[in-house]
Chains A and B, each alone.
Chain A
């Protein structure tokens, strides 16, 4: 199973993509509405540094439209910001792209356009770095409109540009590992007949019949190597190790995964990125411990994970299961009812395959701070 998680995610997204009407960047433009000019006050508010107000105005305007054509919006916004400094125009464009429909692609070529304009500046700036981080996070948004291979290629191209400008930038290196991880499942990216493919990917506890797929195994090894290299960079060590461990579980080497995670720092921290990585580390470690029937240790890890993200169900449910199995029916019931009584809380494991997208708001905020 275990790992399937990722496989199932990727295949399912591919399946979903195949069941949806084709909705590529081009087809977002299908029927051209008459006027897709952004409200002038939204544009001027952004230029004046009133970013949130500007975006609120755009949201209101979008909600009032009967038809939305993002190609047209792009054209008009480019017109409106023609005389702006490149960083400001790039930031505005990126923030507009965050408003594209959930599950669909942001306009990749729009991102690439601004990426190129930023690269024309001879000296890479900290703003450009922050803009790249935010754009990578946006490109990692889970999508339902295109095959994963296509999505992954867009990200690869973008990272390639980014790493040429900012060699060994930790966040870009880490995004590269995630790209390799996604790419390792390329054999499952395009699914002509969804059920046939899905059938080969059994549910947890079942045998996985992917062993014969040489490309899959070789790509997993590549992912592992990329993660191993990334783990040498302190700011991303925890996430890199967690992803390497996940790959080892996929490769059916849970003992090696456990060794890798054994000494991990799982203490609380205020750094959200690190806290998310530590949570995933704990969930993966508890998962392997659970597979090895080391229940008390698994229980401790689940409790530690809940300390990092209270109400996260990927820790709460297995902990409740252990409580139930220990005869503490009432406590198990209380824990489960507590976490399902409200909208599910942030859960880094549920967002494992979304990369940095859950941190997009934070990345945007940093990008704004670094606007010259």
Chain B
């Protein structure tokens, strides 16, 4: 609590300057090198046979020369953030309480479970069997809070959010949320569930409803994650498996930026120079140093 009080006490003064220092822990692992993790898929399956010459990476529109590009398997720092609000609690735990303990047994995964309705709390596997049925939900605030935790060094931070998408009392202003999210190392994966097969607002399930979930989908796509609809236990299991398998073996591209200013936001684009249609999951950018709040 002392630590908490201290943080709050100095926050206002520190924020008065609002000048941002370098924040790109997973992007610049060395002095000037930038590291970008990339998932490549074709027909829904991971593509694993690409080399540096088959990637095209642009930093603020400027083509970069890749030092290395290889699949690196690193342990996962996996957080599952579970919606425990009334609208969802009756269904989700049934599926999760089967899947989560299996993940917890994996040696290459450090698992943390969080539950949320209006507020976020740490929970255990046992808590999944006891739905809380909270009566208000702050979905985007909960996701933002989870993203603000510092990930475990040396592990790949993955945040899976299981929710029905209802949000009632989110209050963090968009510019503040965006500023934090863009600096976060977590890759956000959304699994949107509904027990009764009503249309999901996400992705392939209901393209006409894209607008509704745009803010959430943006969180996922900007952080190289997925937004997946899951309608039953089986689909939920498949979605989690897909995310874990994908996250366990991603390409790691390294390059030393050339022809771009070091500070500010850097837009990243990654393309595969090979015939065929590929789906690419990579961050949309990173913050260079020094930078200011947007």
Q: Footprint of B on A, CB under 8 Å?
A: 1-2, 5, 8-9, 12-13, 15-16, 19, 102-103, 142, 144, 194-195, 198-199, 201-207, 283, 286-291, 293, 295-296, 298-300, 302-304, 306-307, 310-311, 313-314, 316-345, 347, 349-353
For B175, the chain A residues whose CB sits under 8 A away are 290-291, 293, 295
For B8, the chain A residues whose CB sits under 8 A away are 303, 306-307, 310, 319, 335
Q: Is the CB of B141 within 8 A of A317?
A: yes
The answer to whether residues A9 and B86 also contact, given A202-B212, A295-B293, A332-B148 and a CB cut-off of 8 A, is: no
Q: Is the CB of A203 within 8 A of B140?
A: yes
Q: Is the CB of A324 within 8 A of B148?
A: yes
B105 an interface residue at 8 Å Cβ cutoff? no
B211 an interface residue at 8 Å Cβ cutoff? yes
Chain A contact residues: over half helix, strand or loop, or mixed? Answer: helix
B210 to chain A, nearest CB (A): 9
Q: Is the CB of B172 within 8 A of A318?
A: yes
Rounded to whole angstroms, the CA-CA distance of A32 and B243 in the bound complex is 50
Q: Is the CB of A323 within 8 A of B11?
A: yes
Q: Footprint of A on B, CB under 8 Å?
A: 1, 3-5, 7-12, 14-23, 25, 86-87, 114, 118-122, 133, 135-138, 140-141, 144-145, 148-150, 166-177, 179-180, 183-184, 196, 198-199, 201, 209, 211-216, 293-294
Rounded to whole angstroms, the CA-CA distance of A327 and B18 in the bound complex is 9
Q: Is the CB of B214 within 8 A of A206?
A: yes
Q: Is the CB of B20 within 8 A of A327?
A: yes
Rounded to whole angstroms, the CA-CA distance of A195 and B144 in the bound complex is 24
B148, B171, B177: most-surrounded residue (chain A CB, <10 A)? B171
Task: Across the A-B interface, give the 9 residue pairs with the lowest CB-CB distance, nearest first.
Answer: A344-B119, A290-B173, A327-B21, A299-B15, A321-B180, A205-B174, A350-B118, A333-B150, A203-B215
Rounded to whole angstroms, the CA-CA distance of A2 and B15 in the bound complex is 23
For A12, the chain B residues whose CB sits under 8 A away are 87, 137, 166-168
List 18 interface pairs A-B (beta carbons < 8 Å), by A numbering: A13-B135, A142-B136, A194-B198, A203-B215, A287-B173, A289-B173, A291-B173, A295-B18, A295-B293, A303-B11, A314-B169, A317-B144, A319-B8, A325-B293, A326-B293, A335-B4, A341-B122, A349-B171
Q: Is the CB of A313 within 8 A of B148?
A: no
Q: Is the CB of A326 within 8 A of B18?
A: yes
- Smallest CB gap from A142: residue in B: B135
A347 to chain B, nearest CB (A): 6
For A353, the chain B residues whose CB sits under 8 A away are 136, 168-169
Q: Is the CB of A334 within 8 A of B3?
A: yes
- Contact with B211, one of A202, A293, A321 (Cβ below 8 angstroms): A202
